[in-house]
Each structure stands twice: as C-alpha cells, then as structure tokens.
C-alpha cells in the first residue's frame, strides 16, 4: 500500500513561497515509490523546503513505516521556513528542525557523510542570469543558464553530507540535461538514474535518485 502524503489543502504558501506544483508532486510520488521496507534512515534532510509539502510528506511516510529519524528542512527564504512550520503544525507533525541558509553550507560541518535521505527540488527553470539576483519568489524557480546555476552549486556539496547508504532525490527538467548532472555526480563516485519521468506544463520533469557508488556496488544492489 502506498503511504499517504501531506494534504495540499493543509499546506501553507503565499506570494513569497512556492506553491506545491507538478514538480513537488512528482518528487513526492518518487519518494513514495522508494523501498521503505529495507531502508531505515537516521537523518533525512530537504533543502529548499518552500511550503513544507515535501518534508511533511516524508515525515508521514516515516511514521507510517514505524521509522524514527532526525528530520531537517532548510531554505534560504525565511518566508518559506515560516510556511513550512505552519504546514507541519497543520498536519500534527512535530520534531522537524528548520534551518535557514544557502544550500548545504550550514549543514556540511554538522552532517559529514551522515544524511541518509537528501532531497532537493531546486530552482531549475532556465532564465537570464540577471533573474538570479532577485530575492522575491523568483528565487524559487530562477535557474539561470539551462536552469543549472543553483543545481551546479549544490552538486559538489552532495558528497560532503550523503551517507554511505544514503539516497539523494532531486528534481530536474530535460533543459537541465539530467544525463550531464549524473555524469558530474559520477566524478564524485555518486551514481544514479532517472527514476520518474513526467510531462508537466511546458516542461519535462525528470526525478533523479542517486547513491554512493562503492557501497552499493559492493553489496550488489544495483
Ligand atoms: C522549486 S521550490 C521547491 C519548494 C518545495 N520543496 C516544493 O517542492 O514544493 C525551490 C525552493 O528552494 C529555495 N532556494 C532557492 N535557492 C536556495 C538556496 N541557495 N539555498 C536554499 N534554498 C534555496 C527557494 O526559496 C524555494 O523554496
């Protein structure tokens, strides 16, 4: 049975906070398809939590599988963190730590190779580079050239926090060149694949799932 997820009607957002959209739903669908029966994460972290719809869904998945984990959500936007807090309260979810900061920077010193589930729905929309300096809601979607400006800052940080048995789920669109993203991660001994493809309004979503190469090869899982 598929675990239930956050209720979009109980999810907070406003003009400054990204409304749960097709990309958010595709990401949650991909996470639902994860094999939770053989996975018991100790640390789960969503970067760029926005409304909190995704991390709240993850908290519900954990609880439905009887799993206890340290759950954290971060965003660069204080409005997003306030919305996430409201969304968590509306769903009766406690014990999610909220952190304001730029990508994984504030978390790397604390979670070296410790994050078992890392999640990011980045600003991936291709835009002119001057959109990148905006501090309003554009920060939720503006991705610069090929939509890769924020993604390419995030990728080298992944190896710092991902645990040996960890998984990283990230939203991309075909404009971001997901195969090229997988190649860049592969240079850090992180491998992965597109686990969900979905056509949405004017974009072709590709959800990536990635893991450290050596551990799982040795176990013969992939
Ligand atoms: C596409 S929205 C995703 C929101 C939510 N996770 C969802 O799926 O509905 C991207 C989020 O990333 C946040 N963000 C943008 N740049 C960031 C950065 N450098 N560090 C952390 N968060 C960032 C935005 O504020 C926004 O909330």
Residue 4, pLDDT score? 84
The Å distance, Cα 190 to ligand 1 centre, comes to: 23
CB atoms within 10 A of CB 183: 10
147 lines ligand 1 (CB under 6 A): no
Segments of the chain scoring below 50 in pLDDT: 220-222
Residue 216, pLDDT score? 52
Residue 3 falls inside a structural domain:
no
CA 222, 203, 18, 67: dihedral to nearest 10 degrees?
-20
Residue 222, pLDDT score? 45
pLDDT in tens, 142-200: 999 999 999 999 999 999 999 999 999 999 999 999 999 999 999 999 999 999 999 99
Q: Whose CA is nearest to atom 7 of ligand 1?
A: 24
Residue 94 belongs to a domain with what CATH number? 3.40.50.150
Residue 126, pLDDT score? 96
Residue 214, pLDDT score? 76
Residue 131 falls inside a structural domain:
yes
Residue 146, pLDDT score? 97
Residue 61 falls inside a structural domain:
yes
The Å distance, Cα 187 to ligand 1 centre, comes to: 25
Residue 2 falls inside a structural domain:
no
Q: Whose CA is nearest to atom 11 of ligand 1?
A: 48
Return the SS3 of 48: coil
Residue 1 falls inside a structural domain:
no
Tell me which residue range forms the domain holding 54.
Answer: 8-219
Residue 49 falls inside a structural domain:
yes
11 lines ligand 1 (CB under 6 A): no
Residue 76 falls inside a structural domain:
yes
In total, how many domains does the chain have?
A: 1
Which ligand 1 atom sits nearest the alpha carbon of residue 19?
9
């Amino acid at each position: 049975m598929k675990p239930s997820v956050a209720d979009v009607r109980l999810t907070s957002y406003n003009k400054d906070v990204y409304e749960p959209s097709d990309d958010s739903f595709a990401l949650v669908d991909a996470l639902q398809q994860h094999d939770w029966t053989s996975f018991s994460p100790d640390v789960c972290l969503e970067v760029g939590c926005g409304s909190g719809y995704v991390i709240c869904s993850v908290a519900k998945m954990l609880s439905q599988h009887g799993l206890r984990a340290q759950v954290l959500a971060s965003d660069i936007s204080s409005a997003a963190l306030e919305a996430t807090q409201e969304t968590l309260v509306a769903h009766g979810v406690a014990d999610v730590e909220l952190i304001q900061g730029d990508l994984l920077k504030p978390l790397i010193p604390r979670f070296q190779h410790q994050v078992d589930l890392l999640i990011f729905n980045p600003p991936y929309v291709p835009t002119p580079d001057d959109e990148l300096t905006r501090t309003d809601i554009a920060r939720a979607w503006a991705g610069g050239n090929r939509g890769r400006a924020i993604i390419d800052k995030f990728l080298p940080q992944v190896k710092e926090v991902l645990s040996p048995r960890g998984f990283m789920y990230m939203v991309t669109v075909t404009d971001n060149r997901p195969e090229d993203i997988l190649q860049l991660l592969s240079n850090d001994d992180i491998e992965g694949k597109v686990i969900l493809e979905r056509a949405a309004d004017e974009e072709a979503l590709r959800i990536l799932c990635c893991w450290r190469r050596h551990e799982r090869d040795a176990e013969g899982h992939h």
